[in-house]
Chain A
């Protein structure tokens, strides 16, 4: 069974760095074609894609946020970490990680999300 679980701080202050962890099971990020994405959703808004890391360690970032994002993986522990620098109240929302498989172009399994509030 494929599962993903996000974790991180519930509250961060403006200008701080947010670190989120996606712990997954049921697949390996070192297997050909496996990808893990981060998506966030602000209250009442549509999902917004943030970043992706692939089985070969290739990384992709949202054009709008790339200067603030960093994605990394620990394949031995089945973890993907997303770091976002200089957070702002506009970064408040629920953050999800989701599995994607190449060449199929879809994110099929999502975590339940972790809610982050940016406030002083």
Chain B
């Protein structure tokens, strides 16, 4: 069972906006910034968002994040078929002294 909790699935049609959540505790999300990763089958996770809402170079601004208290969320606007993937949240946990991940949200583009 993952330390961070994510809803297992989400879906939307092309052009729509979808959001997905990540819930944790005071020792992880409550203290440290959340990062988001996108993973398509057979590939390594791709660094998507960091420090709540910062995008690495090359990530389109359709992807945005927020973080408050012990929760974080990822939003994708203008949904595209290539956004279909698994999305994971991750952060450092001060109690476990290690990185923790969410269980992942599988996004389906209908």
Contact = CB atoms under 8 A, between A and B. Distances in A.
Given A104-B51, A107-B35, A60 B97 contact: yes
Contacts of B14: none
Interface stretch (A23-31, A85-93, A109-117): A109-117
B98 A63 contact: yes
A105 B89 CA distance: 13
B101 A105 contact: no
Contacts of B88: 46-47
A67 B97 CA distance: 15
B97 A47 contact: no
Most buried by A among B37, B90, B99: B99
B93 to A, nearest CB: 9
A106 B51 contact: yes
Nearest to A109: B47
Contacts of A109: 47
Contacts of A34: none
B32 interface: yes
B97 A63 contact: yes
B45 interface: yes
Interface string B23-53: 0000000001101010000011111001100
A60 B2 CA distance: 19
Contacts of A46: 2, 88, 101-104
Interface of B: 2, 32-33, 35, 37, 43-47, 50-51, 56, 88, 90-92, 96-104
17 contacts: A37-B99, A47-B37, A47-B101, A48-B101, A49-B100, A52-B99, A60-B97, A62-B98, A63-B98, A96-B45, A104-B51, A105-B35, A105-B50, A106-B50, A107-B35, A108-B50, A113-B44
Interface of A: 37, 39, 46-49, 52, 60-63, 96, 104-113
The 5 closest A-B pairs by CB, nearest first: A49-B99, A106-B50, A110-B44, A106-B35, A47-B101
